[in-house]
Chain A
Amino acid sequence: MRYEMPTTAKAAAGLLAKEKGRAFVLAGGTDLLVKMKAGVVEPDLIVDIKAIKGMKDIKKSAGGFVIGAAVPCVALSENAALTKAWPGVVEAANLIGSKQVQGRCTMSGNLCNASPAADSVPALIAAGAKVSIISAKGSRKVAVEDVTTGVGRTSLKKGEFVTAIELPAKKPKSGDAYLRFIPRTEMDIAVVSCAVNVSLDAKGMITKARVVLGAVAITALLVKDAASAIVGTKLDDAAKAKLAAACSAACKPIDDKRGTVEFRTEVAGVLARRAAEIAYARAGGKQ
């Protein structure tokens, strides 16, 4: 195995493109090193992107936030502006692993690891986040929901890697929230999760909504029916019931060591309702 620590994104992309064997990008390493330990992956090349300029920066502009691919999740919660604008995203990212893991893990890694249970991914999708992808040939931007294509699979082509995640500027009277279900209070993988992002009008009516479920299908699910269930409402009980039903209906989960189909389907609705309540309150809505 070779270990490279290039100082430019272009050099990194070149290394990845050139490698004939199995090449992996290393940011926080909290998934990659676990897989190496288990013998699930045996890299021929590891490209550490942490020495590349900007990879560890969070930049705020009128257009929103650009979060470098090597920003550890703990740094997100240390950024007051980001936490104020996207509390749901920051909370989701800060649920990944322990404090120790927080010091290393990144949202970009969480996304590219392509686990259906990734905590930050539903929140990013709900927020309408995009990712910047670079390769030797150039760069492109895609919506977060277009990155993961299956369990452990992404739409990234050989030689491509994520350089940043971009969050839009927070709209007035909007709010986001993320909740996951785990059996313990910490250290578990989400059994089912839900992110909600809502925008309200002056009267507290929901004008736009994005509802995303995690761990109930091979990728995070953007549930349009769930959004329509609450748009045009003030998140009254009937709307919440419709939201929960739409979420449960959208689930395509499996039985595994963490939960059953029945459990995930039911709790998806429960979490959607609860997350929507938080997001609605954060947007300034009063129930």
Chain B
Amino acid sequence: MGVHVRSTVNGDAVEFTCPEDEVLLDVLRNRLGLTGAKEGCGTGDCGACSVILDGRLVCSCLVLGAEMDGKVVETIEGMADGAKLHPLQQHFIDGAALQCGVCTPGFLMAADALLRKNPDPTEEEIRFGLAGNLCRCTGYDKIVRAVQAAAKEMRG
């Protein structure tokens, strides 16, 4: 039983077998050891499990592992370039844009997806771009500012 899947995760070729009804989030966390994506709801309402799938931001709780054959997945574990943090990661730390941090991986993936599409977003575009990610600690203030600062740095 189960589906045999080959895909690329953070640039690495991976191979796994999972039950037909297992979601990508569980594959990442329980089969591939990538626990950076979190299950905050399991229903696509909180964004804590956000990953980038073939270039599109998705909730990994709303994707089946079985669908992954031949697909390319990017997760928080692949965001930094070795020891060098991505500008978004660095600005989240410097700008105190995280408190408990459980939503942070999802926010970083969502912000990354936003900036790839729109390198110079307005405050409103950032707020709506991140509306699928819930944060209960920060009131979003420092998150939006960190994304603005990272975007500015990335534009050079």
Contact = CB atoms under 8 A, between A and B. Distances in A.
B113 interface: yes
Range for the number of chain A residues in contact with chain B: 20 to 34
A104 B64 contact: no
B56 interface: yes
Given A97-B44, A100-B47, A187-B45, A33 B131 contact: no
Q: Which of B61, B63, B69, B133 lies at the interface centre, i.e. has the most chain A CB atoms within 10 A of its CB?
A: B63
Interface of B: 3, 19-21, 23, 42-45, 47, 50, 53, 56-59, 61-64, 66-67, 69, 110, 113-114, 128-129, 131-133
Given A26-B67, A100-B59, 16 more contacts: A1-B20, A3-B20, A5-B66, A28-B62, A29-B62, A29-B64, A30-B44, A37-B43, A46-B64, A50-B67, A98-B44, A100-B50, A101-B62, A101-B132, A103-B56, A103-B57
Nearest to B56: A103
A236 interface: no
A99 interface: yes
A115 to B, nearest CB: 14
Given A34-B44, A187-B132, A99 B110 contact: yes
B62 A104 contact: yes
A259 B47 CA distance: 25
A46 B45 CA distance: 23
Contacts of A145: none
A100 B128 CA distance: 12
Interface in A165-216: 185-187
A89 interface: no
A98 B47 contact: yes
Nearest to A33: B62
B interface majority secondary structure: mixed
18 contacts: A1-B20, A3-B3, A3-B20, A5-B66, A5-B67, A5-B69, A33-B61, A34-B43, A46-B20, A46-B21, A48-B64, A74-B56, A99-B57, A99-B110, A99-B131, A103-B58, A104-B56, A187-B132
A122 interface: no
Residue in A36, A46, A101 with the greatest tally of chain B CB atoms within 10 Å: A101
Q: Which of the listed residues A46, A74, A98, A101 has the most CB atoms from chain B within 10 Å of its own CB?
A: A98
A2 interface: yes
B44 A99 contact: no
Nearest to B70: A51
Nearest to A35: B43
Given A2-B20, A34-B43, A104 B63 contact: yes
B20 A97 contact: no
Nearest to A101: B44
B21 A30 contact: no
A72 interface: yes
A28 B44 CA distance: 12
Interface string A84-111: 0000000000000111110110000000
B132 A97 contact: yes
Given A1-B20, A29-B62, A46-B20, A100 B67 contact: no
Nearest to B55: A103
Contacts of A38: 43
A23 B110 CA distance: 33
Interface string A32-75: 01101110000100101010000000000000000000001010
